[in-house]
Amino acid sequence: MLQPIIPEIDAFLHEPARLRVLAFLAMVDAADFMHLLRQTGLSRGNLSVQMTKLEDAELVDASKREVDGRLRTAYALSPKGVNALRGYKATMEEILAALPG
């Protein structure tokens, strides 16, 4: 059987909400939940679900920090997350290059 020419897209990373979060975290060293909420435009519930999934997949690392006596969770891309995004970007560049300009 012939191998497909079009490479397989990582469906987990390709999900729009998760991709927005990951793209944002790729630009910064870390951001807390509130900042991600403001910058991605996702709802609180959706972001919470996506962050749990990303943590479970070990694509992001979470750390707690205290601000004015309240614990806040800061998120950063894990090394596994960085590698996954590199692979995703290479795949998408290959696919997007085939599209009409």
Partner 1 sequence: MVNSLEQKLFQRYWDDGIVDLIGGVAVLFIGVGYLMEQVLAEIVVVPLGVVAWMILRARIVEPRAGYVKLSRSRRERSGRELAATVGVGTGMLILFVALGVKVRSGDADLSRWVDGLPALLMALPVLMAGALIRARRFAVYAAVFVLGAVSGVQMGFGPGAPLMVGGTVMGVVGATLLARFLAGARAFQQTE
Smallest distance, partner 1 to C-beta of residue 72, A: 7
- Under the binding rule (CB under 8 A), the answer on residue 28 touching partner 1 is yes
Binds partner 1 by CB under 8 A, chosen from 13, 21, 36, 51: 36
* Amino acid at the residue 23: A
Pairing outcome for strands 60-67 and 70-77: antiparallel
- Under the binding rule (CB under 8 A), the answer on residue 34 touching partner 1 is yes
- Under the binding rule (CB under 8 A), the answer on residue 39 touching partner 1 is yes
- Under the binding rule (CB under 8 A), the answer on residue 90 touching partner 1 is no
- Under the binding rule (CB under 8 A), the answer on residue 17 touching partner 1 is no
Rounded to the nearest 5 degrees, what angle is found at the Cα of 78, between the Cα atoms of 74 and 81? Answer: 120
Q: How far apart are CA 72 and CA 56, in angstroms?
A: 19
Q: Which of residues 42-81 bind partner 1 (CB under 8 A)?
A: 44, 65, 67-68, 72, 74
**Angle subtended by helix axes 16-27 and 79-97, to nearest 10:** 110
